[in-house]
Amino acid sequence: MGKLAGRWASSLSLGAILATAGVAPVAAQDALPPTPLSLDWCLERAAAANPDIAAEAAAADAARERIVPAGALDDPRFAYQASNLPIGSFDFNSTPLSGQQLTLAQKLPFPGLLGNRKHAAEAGEKAALATLEDRRHRIAAEVERAWAELGFSQRALDITDRNIELLRQLTRIAEAKYRVGTGLQQDVLRAQVGLTQLLNERLEREAAIVTSEAAMTGVLDLAPGARLGRTTELAGTEAIPRLEELLARLEDVNPLLRSLGARVEEAERLRRVAELEGYPDVDLGFGYRIRQRVVSDPVDGDDFVTAGLTIRLPVNRSKWRARVAERDALHRRAKARYRSARARLGDAVTALFAELRRADAEATLLETGLVPQTRQSLEASRAGYEVDKVDFLSLIDSQVSLLEAELRLVRARADRRGAFAGLEAALGESLR
């Protein structure tokens, strides 16, 4: 298993140990997010506490418990009768016809019916377990995307703060040059306008952090309003797999497709159940009558035994044909849903792979090219402005270019994280 799958397994094992020991899970408000906030901790927390995963796990448990009842016979029925009591005396020894009747009966369905019901329930369990696995992958992707978005918002605020400080320095330089008569008042005003814009942008960055933290606390089932620490490094180093290999094994590894495939099997079994329910079933019964010895009893008070069977006659064939037709339609629906999901997942894998390649290439280009180049350009413009070889407008343009390049870099790193996590969720398999 990959690293991500190992993280889920370890956290689930811990949950099993706690359940066995009778220890209740940690309440949401008791969880203490670490600082720095690592992705591993977030994934483990989600595996143990996310309510959507808990709901799917409960659904899988319920599906497992349906298997035994589905393949079991109906409970036998016991009956007691006080038979043929005279109204005048209400006793059992006035006539040979009186007695206490004990009856035991068992319904026996048509051969193959119980087996198909059990196989249908087993297919339902397989579908529920695969759905649970798919939910875990999707929650893991949601956690990583939210974690990456929080990391981007935090770093975007850092970049904005650095640019505010830089613009304040440029403003002081412009004011100093204006005071000695070598600068222009419009340069000072332009710097002040730029500073005001950055301060407004800083407010937006702070709001984005709060929004990102809210998304994280929701998926991690933390207390509302919980504050989260700074995330660890955003840059991902995972190798990008080949698209052809991903598409080739999609149908084999994807848990959603396995779940829908099991639903097809379940629908097929239930169709067969509907067919077999249209055939006769029987009730076998055994009776024992306890009698009293009375005068003129030809058998001198011997007890009686009876045995018999009752056959259900499904004479209304239109009713049973309609039930089979209904199950046949549901079977076709299950197969159509499988085909639809397979096509949509193939498209999703292709689109996420393209997004991953783009984000990876952009991050590399920005990290190795544009960011250091714009930083050097700003330094050169600043030095030139101080000796009156570069105008202030060019200096501001260089500063804006650096801000945009640094923001694009952290955005690309966060996008790469999100695309990689989304690709894993669409594939239904860990790629690292």
CB 230, CB 101: distance < 8 Å? no
Q: Looking at the predicted structure, is the pLDDT value of residue 102 above 50?
A: yes
Q: Looking at the predicted structure, is the pLDDT value of residue 15 above 70?
A: no
What confidence tier does 31 reach under pLDDT thresholds 50, 70, 90? low
From CA 286, how far away is CA 306, in angstroms rounded?
6
**CATH architecture classification, 3-10+37-71+116-278+317-427:** Up-down Bundle (1.20)
What confidence tier does 77 reach under pLDDT thresholds 50, 70, 90? very high
Q: What are phi and psi of 115, to 5 degrees?
A: -60, -40
Which of 21-35, 229-243, 354-368 is the least confident region?
A: 21-35
Name the most confidently modeled range: 23-32, 182-191, 304-313: 304-313
Q: Where are the domains of the chain?
A: 3-10+37-71+116-278+317-427, 74-108+280-313
Computed over every residue of the chain, the mean pLDDT equals 88
pTM: 0.82
Q: Looking at the predicted structure, is the pLDDT value of residue 383 above 80?
A: yes
Per residue in 332-352, is it b (16+ CB within 10 Å) or e — as a string? Answer: eebbeebeebbeebbebbeeb
For residues 26-38, give the mean pLDDT: 71
From CA 267, how far away is CA 416, in angstroms rounded?
40
Q: What is the pLDDT of residue 11?
A: 42
Render pLDDT for 206-220 as a digit per residue (tens, 0 to 9).
999 999 999 999 999
Q: What is the pLDDT of residue 387?
A: 81
Q: Looking at the predicted structure, is the pLDDT value of residue 88 above 80?
A: no
Which residues have CB under 8 Å from 306's CB, separation 6+?
103, 285, 286, 287, 288, 289
User: Which tokens hold the place of 376?
Assistant: 């050097």
Which of 64-68, 381-385, 412-416 is the least confident region?
A: 381-385
